[in-house]
Amino acid sequence: MRLSIACPATLRSDANNLAMVLGYGPADAETYVALNWQDAGGNLYAVASLPVSDTFTTDAQVALQRPAWDTDNIISMAAANRAQAALVFSLEPVLALPDKLTACAGDDALATLAAMGLTQVEVDI
């Protein structure tokens, strides 16, 4: 299953902490960076899209544990928990919201993001 995730600007830091908890290392703090997408109201989002295991959505909603690699306490577990509280999972595309971390299933990332009401911000080459 592929998940495409829309992260509003205000949740980026929290969501990157959650990404480190659910991911593999400190580099996952770079999951949500550029605000390349926007909704109909002009709210900006960073997006991620990745194949996940069938248990990912369940794993992401249980009590979070600091990963074994984080011996230096890089992760703010408080921030990760805030991001988890803002998570919305859906097997069908739903509109991204500016106060939610919205994750929708769909094989085609761009089609899923479009169905979430998002369009790419024009970037000058």
* Binding to other proteins, residues 38-57 (CB under 8 A): 47-51
Could you give the CA distance from residue 56 to residue 61 in angstroms, rounded to a whole number? 9
Instruction: Decide: 103 and 3 in contact? Cβ < 8 Å.
Output: yes
Nearer to other proteins, 88 or 114 (CB): 114
Binding letters toward other proteins, positions 5-34, x by CB under 8 A = x-------------x---xxxxxx-xx-xx
Report which of 4, 29, 25, 36 is spatially closest to residue 15, judged by C-alpha positions.
29
At residue 16, the 3 state secondary structure works out as: helix
Closer of 41 and 51 to other proteins (Cβ): 51
DSSP state at residue 86: T
Q: Which residues bind other proteins (CB under 8 A)?
A: 2, 4-5, 19, 23-28, 30-31, 33-34, 36, 47-51, 68-71, 109-110, 113, 120, 123-125
